């Protein structure tokens, strides 16, 4: 969790229940009685994305008269967001930034916020409340402790061991969920649905693996009950939501007159596709644009392989080229052509047909979204957790292209960009921002230098494809080219070579 933006702002109306009526008329505020909201959902991991995505849908549902689906927010790692929200009655401003102007909405769907380390029993009480019928998660792909290749839960984690030893004082998401499900079972209360809303394919399966595996370590009988009675639907979520900056907060004050200590800025586009598999009822979110389907996988495949893979493709090469935002990348004709052709020529051919989705339109919309100058996402943010993003988003397209004998040189260049980035410095010797769960890869990359082999041999990232010469030789060629010339020049060479083939 990042820190709240703190730059001093102009005098404005402080955000609270009491001051909602004083906000400018162009700011949309809750039209419902917030005190009438019942806590139907517990959300764990209240970051910017949840506040710009799931909470917005639930706020809109409340505005349509539904009172059963208020949100209890839970944090396990950052006290600060809870303190900020408490100071403004759990309200926040969501600003949609379009090329032609902004639209500000105050979201009021959250009824409480709880910080687990301060009061784990309060969190467990919320989870065992019979009114709680759905638990939603945004804990990042690494938060599930499920290996991307083996599909196995990391039972050796010391926090997992602590939760098994002291179930009443959990430290992990799964410690909380399993203890709460145990208590609900003991009390004869119906279980809740666990709905992952993280940007990862098969997120429901990952949640199921983590919860059931943890439960099995604790009590085989409880694990069997969870497998039989609890559902873990997958979902596909999409809305570009950069980290809020002090400049964003200043802009919210200037444009709306709202003094919000931690607003969220986001794009107008949003999408939420959910597998319709709930064990204890669900909110009627189809009324506000959510699509419920039998199988989410085709939708998430399209999204992760185009948007998420596209982010990774431009983040490392763009940063090394001296660019800092998605808007910088998309206004550079070389980089825009690179991303356009990467998607159209090397990723799209392996994508499934999806009901209601035109792939050409989807790609065009994606390019427009990334080019939105008022929603310039930081490449430093997009570069985080590369060791989990590369195997999740880029490598599936690599495998499909290699196996089908289709072009994959631009994909290899994107991977080589990450390997070069891992050395920790750009072409001027300046440090680059590396954040992720595998800090050990940095010294490995530095020692390997221009040799891609040691990193490609990391099975936890590349699995078997790292030793496939059709891929490994291509990545080595791209990395060697990046050592001779800058990213822009190498991209131009690769694009020209592709046209000649």
Output the CA–CA distances (angstroms, integers) from residue 332 to 324, 328, 373, 443, in the order listed: 12, 6, 13, 32
Across 190-200, average pLDDT: 95
Query: Which of 25-34, 115-124, 253-262 is least confident?
Result: 253-262
Spell 340-366 as b/e; 16+ CB within 10 A means b.
Answer: bbbbebbbbebbeebeeeebeebbeeb
Q: What's the mean pLDDT in 322-328? A: 95
pLDDT at 194 > cutoff 80: yes
pLDDT of residue 107: 99
Match 């402790």 to its residue by tokens: 145
pLDDT value at residue 4 = 64
CATH topology of domain 298-500: 1.10.1040
The pLDDT of residue 498: 66
pLDDT at 10 over 60: no
334 burial (CB, 10 Å; 0-12 / 13-18 / 19+) is middle
Residue 149 has pLDDT above 90, yes or no: no
- pLDDT band at residue 8 under the 50/70/90 scheme: very low
CA distances from 36 to 23, 66, 113, 285, 457 (A): 22, 10, 17, 19, 56
Q: What is the distance between the alpha carbons of residues 202 and 149, in angstroms, rounded to a whole number?
A: 13
Report the distance separating Cα 447 and Cα 96, nearest Å. 44
Task: Return left, alpha or beta for 120; rule: phi > 0 is left, psi -120 to 50 is alpha, else beta.
Answer: alpha
- Residue pair 220/329 in contact (Cβ under 8 Å)? The answer is no
Q: Which CATH class is domain 13-295?
A: alpha beta
- Calculate mean pLDDT across residues 289-299: 95
pLDDT above 90 coverage of the chain, percent? 87
Q: Are the C-beta atoms of 302 and 366 separated by less than 8 Å?
A: no
pLDDT band at residue 1, thresholds of 50, 70 and 90? Answer: very low
- Tens of pLDDT, residue by residue over 162-185, are 999 999 999 999 999 999 999 999
pLDDT tens sequence across 108-137:
999 999 999 999 999 999 999 999 999 999
> Where are the strands (E) in 243-402, listed by range?
258-259, 264-266, 271-275, 291-293
Predicted confidence at residue 9, as pLDDT, reads 47
- Look at residue 457 in the predicted model and tell me its pLDDT: 97
pLDDT tens by residue, 438-482: 999 999 999 999 999 999 999 999 999 999 999 999 999 999 999
CA distances 59 to 87, 122, 198, 219, Å, are 20, 24, 20, 38
pLDDT for res 152: 87
Q: Collapsing DSSP states into helix, strand and coil, what is residue 146?
A: strand
- Per-residue pLDDT, averaged over 32-47, amounts to 98
Q: Give the closest residue to 114 by CA, choosing from 88, 59, 76, 84.
A: 76
pLDDT confidence tier of residue 15, bands split at 50, 70 and 90: very high
The average pLDDT across 269-273 equals: 96
The closest alpha carbon to 77, from 176, 219, 179, 220, belongs to 176
Sheet bearing 110-115, strands edge to edge: 110-115, 70-75, 39-44, 134-137, 193-196
Q: Give the number of other Cβ atoms within 10 Å of residue 125's Cβ.
A: 15
**Planar angle of CA 462, 465, 471, nearest 5 degrees:** 110
Helix, strand, coil content of the chain in percent (nearest 5)? 50, 15, 35
Reported confidence tier of residue 146, pLDDT bands at 50, 70, 90: confident
DSSP state of 287: G
What integer is the mean pLDDT of 20-47? 97
Residue 403: other Cβ atoms inside 10 A? 12
Tokens representing 433?
Answer: 């921002």
Tokens, residue 187? 């009390």
Sequence spans of domains, the chain: 13-295, 298-500
pLDDT grade, residue 78 (50/70/90)? confident
Q: What is the mean pLDDT of residues 419-435?
A: 95
Please identify which residue in the block is written with the tokens 């490598």. 395
Strands (E), 31-109: 39-44, 70-75, 92-98, 101-107
pLDDT band at 6 (very low <50, low <70, confident <90, very high): low
| Mean pLDDT value across the chain | 94
State the Cα–Cα distance between residues 342 and 339, nearest whole angstrom: 5
> In this model, does residue 404 exceed pLDDT 70?
yes
Residue 44 bridge partners (DSSP) = 74, 137
The band of 142, judged by pLDDT with boundaries at 50, 70 and 90, is: confident
Helix (H, G, I), strand (E, B) or coil at 285: helix
Pair 153, 146: CB distance under 8 Å? yes
Give per-residue pLDDT as tens, 201-240.
899 999 999 999 999 999 999 999 999 999 999 999 999 8
The model's pLDDT over 86-97, given as tens digits with 9 standing for 90+, comes to 999 999 999 999
Distance CA 76, CA 15 (A): 25
Please give the pLDDT value at position 355. Answer: 86
């Amino acid at each position: 969790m990042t820190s709240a933006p703190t730059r001093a702002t102009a005098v404005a109306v402080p955000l609270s229940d009491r001051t909602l009526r004083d906000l400018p008329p162009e700011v949309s505020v809750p039209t419902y009685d917030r005190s009438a909201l019942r806590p139907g959902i517990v959300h764990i991991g209240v970051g910017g994305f949840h506040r710009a995505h799931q909470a917005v849908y639930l706020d809109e549902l409340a505005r349509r008269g539904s009172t059963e689906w208020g949100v209890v927010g839970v944090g396990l790692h950052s006290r600060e967001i809870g303190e900020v929200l408490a100071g403004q009655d759990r309200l926040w401003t969501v600003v949609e930034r379009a090329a032609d102007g902004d639209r500000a909405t105050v979201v009021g769907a959250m009824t409480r916020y709880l910080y687990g380390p301060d009061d784990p029993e309060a969190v467990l009480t919320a989870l065992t409340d019979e009114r709680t019928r759905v638990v939603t998660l945004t804990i990042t792909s690494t938060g599930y402790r499920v290996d991307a290749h083996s599909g196995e839960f990391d039972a050796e984690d010391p926090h997992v061991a602590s939760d098994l030893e002291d179930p009443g004082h959990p430290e992990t998401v799964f410690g909380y969920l399993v203890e709460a499900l145990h208590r609900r079972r003991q009390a004869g209360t119906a279980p809740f649905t666990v709905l992952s809303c993280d940007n990862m394919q098969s997120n429901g399966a990952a949640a199921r693996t983590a919860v059931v595996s943890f439960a099995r370590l604790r009590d085989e009988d409880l694990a069997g009950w969870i497998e039989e009675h609890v559902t873990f639907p997958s979902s596909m979520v999409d809305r570009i939501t950069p980290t809020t900056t002090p400049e964003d907060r200043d802009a919210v004050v200037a444009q709306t007159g709202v003094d919000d200590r931690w607003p969220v800025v986001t794009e107008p586009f949003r999408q939420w596709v959910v597998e319709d598999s709930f064990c204890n009822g669900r909110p009627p979110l189809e009324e506000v644009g959510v699509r419920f389907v039998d199988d989410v996988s085709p939708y998430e495949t399209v999204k992760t392989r185009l948007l998420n893979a596209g982010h990774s493709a431009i983040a490392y090469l763009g940063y090394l080229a001296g660019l800092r935002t998605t808007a910088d990348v998309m206004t550079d004709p070389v980089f825009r052509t690179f991303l356009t052709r990467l998607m159209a020529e090397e990723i799209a051919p392996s994508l499934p047909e999806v009901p209601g989705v035109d792939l050409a339109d989807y790609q065009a919309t994606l390019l427009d979204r990334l080019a939105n100058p008022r929603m310039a996402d930081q490449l430093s943010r997009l570069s985080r957790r590369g060791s989990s993003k590369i195997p999740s988003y880029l490598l599936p397209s690599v495998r499909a292209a290699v196996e089908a004998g289709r072009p994959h040189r631009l994909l290899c260049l994107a991977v080589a960009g990450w390997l070069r980035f891992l050395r920790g410095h750009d072409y001027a010797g300046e440090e680059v921002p590396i954040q992720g769960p595998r800090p050990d890869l940095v010294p490995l990359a530095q020692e390997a230098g221009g040799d891609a082999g040691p990193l490609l041999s990391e099975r936890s990232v590349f699995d078997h494809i790292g030793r496939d010469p059709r891929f490994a030789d291509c990545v080595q060629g791209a990395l060697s080219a990046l050592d001779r010339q800058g990213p822009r020049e190498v991209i131009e060479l690769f694009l020209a070579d592709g046209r000649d083939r």
